[in-house]
Amino acid sequence: QVQLVESGGGLVQPGGSLRLSCSASGTAFSMFDAGWYRQAPGKERELVARITSGGKTNYVDFVKGRFTIGRDDFKNMMFLQMNSLKPEDTAVYYCNIDQLGLDYWGKGTLVTVSS
């Protein structure tokens, strides 16, 4: 079965950094498109960044220049490096993989940006 587990969330001050990790089993980031999404309280889940099986990356405008998505194929893990964090980045961050149109999600990791 496909399982995704996020880690690395926590409390950080504005301007700080966090590195989120997503560990996959039953699938491989090298084979499918994947990405990070987030959901803030009272808001809908939204795309943050995506990476294709070929390694191409895309970012939404509000994180461009601050966040970096990547993966380690040997460890079968995906990462989101978040720099210059802002209070509006506070959300539960979810790992996603698109397995030929069938989406799988992790349970999320909470990121809180507050002074």
pLDDT in tens, 88-110: 999 999 999 999 999 999 999 99
Specify burial of residue 105 (Cβ count, 10 A radius: 0-12, 13-18, 19+): middle
pLDDT in tens, 58-91: 999 999 999 999 999 999 999 999 999 999 999 9
**How far apart (Å, rounded) are the C-alpha atoms in residues 17 and 73?**
24
DSSP 1: -
The pLDDT confidence band at residue 30, using thresholds 50, 70 and 90, is very high
Q: How many angstroms separate the first and last alpha carbons of the chain?
A: 40
Q: What is the pLDDT of residue 3?
A: 98
